């Protein structure tokens, strides 16, 4: 616990008002002295409990929930009642509960957001309120905001437009900033930008809680987002802004527009790329090969796939390849086939990954080669999916990968789990257990021919909490490419399979908080090198991180006059 958390907290709130404040409520853990001082006598059962006694009861109640959605609702209710207890419970059971508060269950929670809605969390800013954004930001129940996660709900996981239901993603992400990164929940804020929805089912749903109209025009949208960004700068000029689940038509343009003037990043583009590249680098270490020798096929030509391609190009350039040579080793396949320079409908971010078919013998004409044809032609060492197309990595595709390389690296990263390109069990079966596999959603380890084959979850939660911790603790002004690459390298170096020759490809979630600290140190050093952070030494970084770390433990309260 940092020194600030050891000190008593002086409050003027009392009585039922104090019990209704999730950040301050201790429920049955209020001491006798506190109950007298804060007018709580009679409002609570007479027993005085520790937070661990509360946690035991909460976990017993959690286990009584019969479905993942029921567990999600139960945990969210605790979060909206007693945040310290919520984070203590999650911290103690992180491996079991992360899939409940985050992927894959959060996807279903977004789909059912209006049906399961109980209480408000964060801020909802609708387009028709664009001239009152400053006032809305001042309505936030938290004052010292350091990390904001914002979405417009248009591309939630692999589920598409969920409108206002997309708010479940910022809430879940920020929970992980606290659980994994140690950032106080008092410093975090989820925000939903409601610009309508093009999901007809939501527009016709009488329970839908968002604005009941189609999404606004692009011109209106751009003005609205810019007003929001300017208002955030006025209210919290040093806050880190994480863009989450914006559609590919907006994700990259928004990032490009603000990345050099705001402290911001896009987790779907940059966070996904950082964790994917870390996983691929770890896999190359396991294989004992240089990353630059492994052609990479990415299936999914959206902002996530192209973001991974860009990060991978930078990583293999570090091994001595020119940018042109590095790009020649990355093949991105979209719904129409391989992205090539002959395509006439490419978006700006796709142009950098387009391959020239003239460079390949036997590929001519106007058609774009498909997945199997690309695999058989370029003989890649790595196949990665961010397509949201369930089953796309068929037996024929996986066996083709195995035919061309003895130890193929296959990463079906689409989530939730029902959107995965292939299950780990199928991949291991079709490659006789010789593939290196990681998935975007959690899957159980696979038993095959007497062997237990671990399945790592290639999850952004390995990356963004550490980046956020570095930015917040060391007061970085920007998030640079070098900072993102530092996070990838730090995670790759922590691979149990690469270090010990056994175990999982990625570290266990049980140690993610310590790992986030190590990642934060590396990211902060990169920030210093790039001149975007005021700290100057590793010792100062260590001190800043320790001072930032929040623990889910109750503080002593002392009453002051209002």
Q: What is the pLDDT of residues 486-532, one digit of tens each?
A: 999 999 999 999 999 999 999 998 899 999 999 999 999 999 999 99
Q: What is residue 346's predicted lDDT score, i.e. its pLDDT?
A: 87
Burial class (CB within 10 angstroms; exposed 0-12, middle 13-18, buried 19+) of 394: middle
pLDDT of residue 424 exceeding 60, the answer is yes
* C-beta of residue 103 within 8 angstroms of C-beta of residue 416: yes
**pLDDT mean over 314-343:** 93
Chain position carrying tokens 């329970």: 207
Question: If pLDDT is split at 50, 70 and 90, which confidence band does 3 have?
Answer: low
Question: If pLDDT is split at 50, 70 and 90, which confidence band does 417 have?
Answer: confident
Question: If pLDDT is split at 50, 70 and 90, which confidence band does 162 have?
Answer: very high
The CATH number given to 270-460 is 3.40.50.720
Q: What is residue 416's predicted lDDT score, i.e. its pLDDT?
A: 83
Identify the bridge partners of residue 452 per DSSP, sorted by sequence position: 447
Q: What is residue 345's predicted lDDT score, i.e. its pLDDT?
A: 83
Q: What is residue 364's predicted lDDT score, i.e. its pLDDT?
A: 65
pLDDT of residue 365 exceeding 80, the answer is no
Q: What is residue 282's predicted lDDT score, i.e. its pLDDT?
A: 97
**pLDDT mean over 438-465:** 94
Q: What is residue 516's predicted lDDT score, i.e. its pLDDT?
A: 97
- 106/360: higher pLDDT: 106
Six-digit token string for 220:
């209106």
**pLDDT mean over 414-441:** 94
Q: What is residue 361's predicted lDDT score, i.e. its pLDDT?
A: 67
H helix or E strand, kind and range, residue 136: helix 133-138
CA-wise closest residue to 123 among 228, 266, 14: 228
Please, what sign has the CA dihedral across residues 372, 374, 379, 380?
negative
Average pLDDT along the chain:
95
Question: If pLDDT is split at 50, 70 and 90, which confidence band does 30 have?
Answer: very high
Helix (H/G/I), strand (E/B), else coil: 40: coil
Q: What is residue 343's predicted lDDT score, i.e. its pLDDT?
A: 84
**How far is residue 401's CA from residue 198's CA, in Å, rounded to a whole number?**
38
Identify the bridge partners of residue 384 per DSSP, sorted by sequence position: 298, 411
Q: Output the pTM of the full model.
A: 0.93
Q: What is residue 468's predicted lDDT score, i.e. its pLDDT?
A: 97
Helix (H/G/I), strand (E/B), else coil: 451: strand
Contacts within 8 Å (CB) and 24+ apart, 50-58 = 51/26, 51/84, 51/85, 51/88, 51/552, 51/553, 51/554, 52/88, 54/27, 54/28, 54/29, 54/82, 54/85, 54/88, 55/85, 55/88, 55/89, 55/92, 58/85, 58/89
CA–CA–CA angle 429, 432, 437 (5° rounding): 70
pLDDT tens figures, 51-65 = 999 999 999 999 999
pLDDT of residue 441 exceeding 70, the answer is yes
Q: What is residue 480's predicted lDDT score, i.e. its pLDDT?
A: 97
- Catalogue the active-site residues: 102, 173
Q: What is residue 562's predicted lDDT score, i.e. its pLDDT?
A: 77
Q: What is residue 26's predicted lDDT score, i.e. its pLDDT?
A: 98
Six-digit token string for 363:
């590929």
The CATH number given to 50-246 is 3.40.50.10380
pLDDT of residue 344 exceeding 90, the answer is no
Q: What is residue 358's predicted lDDT score, i.e. its pLDDT?
A: 77
Equal fold, 50-246 vs 270-460? yes
pLDDT of residue 258 exceeding 70, the answer is yes
Instruction: Tell me the domain boundaries of the chain.
Output: 50-246, 270-460, 480-548
**pLDDT mean over 250-264:** 96
pLDDT of residue 362 exceeding 70, the answer is no
CA-wise closest residue to 491 among 520, 452, 469: 520
**pLDDT mean over 287-316:** 95
**pLDDT mean over 310-335:** 95
Q: What is residue 5's predicted lDDT score, i.e. its pLDDT?
A: 74
Question: If pLDDT is split at 50, 70 and 90, which confidence band does 158 have?
Answer: confident
pLDDT of residue 2 exceeding 90, the answer is no
Q: What is residue 120's predicted lDDT score, i.e. its pLDDT?
A: 87
Identify the bridge partners of residue 189 per DSSP, sorted by sequence position: 148
Q: What is residue 370's predicted lDDT score, i.e. its pLDDT?
A: 92
pLDDT of residue 1 exceeding 70, the answer is no
């Amino acid at each position: 616990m940092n020194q600030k958390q050891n000190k008593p907290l002086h409050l003027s709130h009392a009585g039922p008002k104090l019990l209704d404040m999730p950040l301050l409520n201790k429920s049955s853990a209020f001491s006798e002295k506190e109950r007298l001082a804060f007018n709580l006598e009679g409002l609570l059962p007479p027993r005085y409990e520790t937070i661990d006694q509360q946690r035991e009861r909460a976990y017993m109640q959690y286990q009584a929930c019969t479905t993942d959605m029921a567990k999600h609702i139960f945990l969210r209710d605790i979060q909206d009642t007693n945040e310290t207890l919520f984070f203590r419970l999650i911290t103690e059971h992180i491996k079991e509960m992360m899939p409940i508060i985050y992927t894959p269950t959060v996807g279903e929670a977004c789909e059912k957001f209006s049906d399961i809605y109980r209480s408000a969390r964060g801020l909802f800013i609708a387009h028709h309120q664009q001239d009152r954004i400053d006032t809305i930001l001042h309505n936030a129940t938290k004052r010292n905001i350091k990390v904001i996660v914002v979405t417009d709900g248009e591309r939630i996981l692999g589920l598409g437009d969920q409108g206002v239901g997309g708010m479940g993603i910022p809430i879940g992400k920020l929970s992980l900033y606290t659980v994994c990164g140690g950032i106080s929940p008092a410093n975090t804020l989820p925000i939903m930008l409601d610009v309508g929805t093009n999901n007809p089912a939501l527009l016709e749903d009488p329970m839908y809680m968002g604005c009941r109209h189609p999404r606004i025009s692009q011109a209106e949208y751009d003005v609205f987002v810019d007003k929001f960004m300017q208002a955030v700068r006025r209210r919290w000029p040093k806050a880190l802004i994480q863009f989450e689940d914006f559609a590919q038509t907006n994700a990259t343009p928004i990032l490009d527009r603000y990345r050099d003037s705001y402290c911001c990043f896009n987790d779907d583009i940059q966070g996904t790329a950082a964790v994917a590249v870390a996983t691929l680098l770890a896999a190359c270490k396991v294989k004992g090969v240089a990353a630059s020798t492994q052609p990479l096929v990415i299936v999914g030509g959206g902002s996530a796939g192209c973001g991974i391609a860009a990060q991978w190009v930078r990583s293999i350039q570090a091994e001595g390849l020119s940018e042109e040579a590095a790009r020649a080793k990355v093949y991105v396949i979209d719904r129409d086939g391989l992205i090539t320079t002959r395509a006439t409908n490419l978006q700006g971010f796709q142009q950098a990954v387009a391959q020239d078919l003239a460079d390949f013998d036997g590929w001519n004409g106007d058609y774009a080669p498909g997945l199997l044809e690309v695999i058989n032609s370029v003989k890649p060492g790595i196949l990665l999916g961010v397509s949201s197309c369930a089953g796309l990595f068929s037996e024929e595709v996986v066996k083709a990968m195995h035919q061309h390389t003895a130890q193929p690296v296959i990463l079906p990263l689409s989530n939730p789990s029902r959107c995965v390109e292939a299950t780990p069990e199928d991949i291991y079966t079709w490659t006789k257990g010789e593939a290196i596999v990681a998935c975007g959603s959690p899957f159980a380890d696979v038993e095959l021919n007497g062997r237990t084959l671990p399945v790592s979850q290639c999850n952004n939660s390995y990356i963004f909490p550490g980046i956020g911790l570095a930015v917040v603790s060391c007061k970085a002004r920007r998030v640079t490419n070098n900072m993102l690459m530092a996070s990838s390298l730090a995670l790759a170096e922590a691979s149990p399979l690469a270090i010990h020759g056994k175990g999982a490809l990625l570290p266990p979630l049980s140690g993610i908080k310590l790992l986030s600290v190590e990642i934060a140190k590396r990211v902060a050093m990169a920030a210093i090198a790039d001149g975007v952070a005021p700290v100057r030494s590793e010792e100062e970084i260590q001190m800043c991180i320790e001072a930032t770390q929040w623990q889910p433990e109750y503080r002593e309260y002392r009453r002051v006059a209002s």
